[in-house]
Every structure is written in C-alpha cells, then in structure tokens.
Amino acid sequence: MLRRAKKRGRRKAVVLLSGGLDSATVLYWALARGYACTALVVDYGQRHRREIRAARAIARAAGVPIRLVRMTLPWGGSALTDRQRALPKNRSFKRIGQGIPATYVPARNTLFLSLALGLAETIGAERILIGANAIDFSGYPDCRPAYITAFQKAARLGTKAGVEGKGVRIEAPLIRKSKAQIIRLGLKLGVPYEKSWSCYQGGSRPCGRCDSCLLREKGFSEAGF
Amino acid sequence: MLRRAKKRGRRKAVVLLSGGLDSATVLYWALARGYACTALVVDYGQRHRREIRAARAIARAAGVPIRLVRMTLPWGGSALTDRQRALPKNRSFKRIGQGIPATYVPARNTLFLSLALGLAETIGAERILIGANAIDFSGYPDCRPAYITAFQKAARLGTKAGVEGKGVRIEAPLIRKSKAQIIRLGLKLGVPYEKSWSCYQGGSRPCGRCDSCLLREKGFSEAGF
C-alpha cells in the first residue's frame, strides 16, 4: 500500500526505447532518478525489427510498462526502411558522422518525439527522454542539441499541457557523451546490455560492419571491454 | 509528352488532407498556384473515420495522388479517439475557441506535420500545406501561427533537406481567415464542398450540433449560403 502510494506520487516520464544501447541507458538513468517510466516503442517498418524484441526484453528487465505504436509509412526514403537500398558497411570512424548517411530516416526523431508528446500529454508525464547523441553518432541532423531545443519550443506551443501548464520537457541526457561514457554510465546503472540490439541489418546475429555495430564495438572497446 | 515534361518541372507540395472543408480548400489553393500535390491522409483511429472517405473523394476529384498512413495509437486522451468520452454539443460560438475542448487530440498537428515532413523529404517536396486556422476554430493550440513557426524551425534543423538545402517550408494559408472567407475562396477555386465532411461524430449524416458542424454552418451562412 505504502509502495503504491509512493509510486502514485512519482513524476512520470515517457522514454523512447528503440532497443539499442543508448535508449536502454536512458531508461535506467531515468529509473535511477526516480521517474515512473513508460517505454514507447515504435514499429515503423524498420529493417532491423529485431530491435523491437530487444526493447521489449529491456523494458521487462527494468519492470516498466511498454506502449507499442505500429505504423505503415507509405514511403521509403532510407536504407533502414527500404531493403532495396544497400546499408553502408565498414566505414572508417572518420567518415561516420561526416555527412548524412543512407540510413537516415526522413524526420524520424520528429515523428518519434510527436508520438512521445501525445503519450506524455495523455498520461500526464512531465518528461520525454530520448537517447539522441551527437558525439559517436551517424551524423543524423535530428540528434543535435539545436534540433531538440527547437522541437521543445514547438511542443510547448502546440500542446494543451504547454499552454495551460508547465508542459512536457524533452531531455536528451546522453547528447554530449561519447559511446564509451554512455556504456560506463550504463554499467554502473545495471543496464542489461546483453539484451540490447544495435545492428541495422537485423537478422539473428549482428553484422559487425554497419555504422551502428562499429560504433557499439568502439564504445565497448574504449570503455575497456 | 509536353504535359508530362511540364508536370515533371512543377514544384511539389504535400497537402495534409483531412476530408474537412479547410484542407480541401488548401488543396485547391495549391493546385491553383501550380503545385504538383500529394495528399497525405492519416487514419489515427478517429471517431469520424467517415472523413477519410471524404478525403479520398476530394483527392480523386482534384486528380491528385494520395498517401494514407495508418497508425494504432495505444492511448486515448481525446473525445475524438475515445468513444467513451462525450463530444461537446450545441456550444455557443462565444464558447467555441475559448479554452481547449474535449475534442483536442494531444499533439495531433505535431504528429501530422512530422509525417508530412517525412513524406516531403522523401519525395523532394518543397512545401507542406496545412489547413490550420486560428479564427473560426475550436481553440486547439496547435492551430496557432506561433506554433507553426516553431515547428518550422524544428523541421529545418532536424532534416537532411533543411541542413543541406533550403528545406521544406510549412505554410498554413488559411490561418488568419474566417470560415466564411475560406468558403468564398474555395467556391471561387471550385472546391467540391459537397464531398467534404466536417462532423466529429461520424456516422452517415452530420449531427449538426458538434463544434465542427456549427462552425461549418456559420461559415456557409456568413458566406451567404
């Protein structure tokens, strides 16, 4: 009873959970800060649908409820949603993050943040937490701090919560951390990284050659693993 | 052949088409300006799904291609998506537009604009056109000019098109027009209003009492019909 009452009083957050290591770390970071979290998972027809299974496993391990949005997007536009397009492989770290690669999904974070905003407003959550990162990243424009700030403003002006109250705050706690820093933080927080999935290719085993596999490997190696 | 070549050179626009009279007017406005339009229709589980049929009929009449996004949103939060909630009916015009009513759908225009942004970027459209209106409207925060401007900034910063080029411009040509002005404009442009659907209730005939029916009636009456 006491626990329940306590839970009822906790501040709520919506965590965008992809199943990769960044968003898993954000989830554990939020739990450590005392947020009552709801994980939002989006099935947008991604090639690596395997990550949705990973997201479910991570949410289960963390003991948080999950909301799954399924959508059919009637366009391609990315190597992540269009299997006819080749995934960039074996790129040097110097090239990863320089320019916007073929795996860029048009307006993906805008779409994810919109969904999170709708959910947050509906359940009365005061925070949206997103694992966007602008250091060891693929160069996506919608992972940069200036973009998050701009979306925040639109979110405030475009919602009842923002007009009538304090609104929903969007936070990207990993945005300026290296992959190694993220992993070190996550290991301290007990993130079950073995359940996470980074590979863009999907399938049953990571390919080890796409940008996402390479950044993951670099992170663990720099973190001393 | 000549027509085809001409068509190829036309500037592209994505028009958010709900099936109501504002978005139908925007579509015809864009066609009159020479845009090659693609209509984006969203099935988000709205109570008045009847409007999707209206959107299809309007797009067909205008001769523009349609893209339909279907999504299951695993939350309610609005009288438009949750049939357990009552629709506000028979409100006075003084009350309509004062405060945010139960038909407000959390973050709806943010979600619609995100989808339009993804589609626009994918097909290389330079404009997104939305029928948002802040005069004879239900008081939704995401229909106001300041919100559209803020979303525009996020769209520029968060897309490849915005970072590498001129980006996608969002335009709401009806935002400061009264319903009567919109209808007069539409009739000049040949909008087939008989195919449009405004009623929030859905069903086979408009209820005549919800905000949307009342605003439509007021518009036609003030326009002299």
- Read off the pTM: 0.93
- Structure confidence at residue A96 (pLDDT): 82
- Structure confidence at residue A137 (pLDDT): 82
Asked whether the beta carbons of residue B108 and residue A122 sit closer than 8 angstroms, the reply is: no
Question: Is pLDDT above 60 for A210?
Answer: yes
Asked whether the beta carbons of residue A118 and residue B104 sit closer than 8 angstroms, the reply is: no
Q: Is residue B99 left, alpha or beta, with left meaning phi > 0 and alpha meaning psi from -120 to 50? A: left
**B145 in contact with A, Cβ within 8 Å:** no
Please check whether residue B202 is in contact with residue B50, taking contact to mean a CB–CB distance below 8 angstroms: yes
Domains in chain B with CATH codes: 11-222 (3.40.50.620)
Instruction: Using an 8 Å CB-CB cutoff, list chain A residues near B160.
Output: 100, 104, 106, 141
Please check whether residue B28 is in contact with residue B128, taking contact to mean a CB–CB distance below 8 angstroms: no
Residue from the list B106, B154, B158 with its beta carbon closest to the beta carbon of A159: B106
Please check whether residue B204 is in contact with residue B48, taking contact to mean a CB–CB distance below 8 angstroms: no
Instruction: Using an 8 Å CB-CB cutoff, list chain B residues near A146.
Output: 157
**pLDDT class of A8 with cuts at 50, 70, 90:** low
- Structure confidence at residue A7 (pLDDT): 54
Kind and range of the H or E element at A37?
Answer: strand A36-43
- Structure confidence at residue A91 (pLDDT): 87
* ipTM value: 0.92
Instruction: Using an 8 Å CB-CB cutoff, list chain A residues near B157.
Output: 141-142, 144, 146-147, 150
CA atoms within 13 A on the CB side of B104: 23
| Of B216, B151, B143, B189, the residue nearest B30 (C-alpha) | B189
Kind and range of the H or E element at A154?
Answer: helix A145-157
**pLDDT tens track of chain B, all 225 residues?**
344 445 557 999 999 999 999 999 999 999 999 999 999 999 998 888 899 999 999 999 999 999 999 987 777 778 888 888 888 898 888 888 788 889 899 999 999 999 999 999 999 999 999 999 998 888 899 999 999 999 999 999 999 999 999 999 999 999 999 999 999 999 999 999 999 999 999 888 999 999 999 999 999 999 998
- Structure confidence at residue B8 (pLDDT): 59
**B147 in contact with A, Cβ within 8 Å:** yes
Record the tokens describing residue B71, joined without a space.
Answer: 């999504």
**pLDDT class of A136 with cuts at 50, 70, 90:** confident
> CB-based contacts of A202: which residues, under 8 Å, 6+ apart?
A46, A47, A48, A49, A50, A51
Please give the residue that has the higher pLDDT: either A107 or A99. A107
Rounded distance between C-alpha atoms, residue A51 and residue A47, angstroms: 9
Asked whether the beta carbons of residue A155 and residue B110 sit closer than 8 angstroms, the reply is: yes
| Of B115, B101, B99, B142, the residue nearest B44 (C-alpha) | B115
**B102 in contact with A, Cβ within 8 Å:** no
Strands B66-72 and A66-72: antiparallel
**B83 in contact with A, Cβ within 8 Å:** no
Please name the residues between 105 and 134 in chain A that touch chain B, using a CB distance below 8 Å. 105-111, 113-115, 117-119, 121-123
Asked whether the beta carbons of residue B110 and residue A75 sit closer than 8 angstroms, the reply is: no
Distance from CA of A107 to the nearest CA of B (A): 5
Residue from the list B107, B122, B161 with its beta carbon closest to the beta carbon of A159: B107
Q: In this structure, which amino acid lies at residue B126?
A: E
Kind and range of the H or E element at A70?
Answer: strand A66-72
Strands B36-43 and B12-16: parallel
Nearest-5° angle of CA A43, CA A145, CA A25? 55
Distance from CA of B109 to the nearest CA of A (A): 8
**What is the percentage of chain A residues whose pLDDT exceeds 90?**
72
Distance from CA of A215 to the nearest CA of B (A): 21
**A141 in contact with B, Cβ within 8 Å:** yes
Record the tokens describing residue B120, joined without a space.
Answer: 């626009």
**B65 in contact with A, Cβ within 8 Å:** no
- pLDDT tens string B120-147: 999 999 999 999 999 888 889 999 999 9
**pLDDT class of A84 with cuts at 50, 70, 90:** confident
CA atoms within 13 A on the CB side of A161: 23
Instruction: List the single residue in B with minimal CA-CA distance to A77.
Output: B122
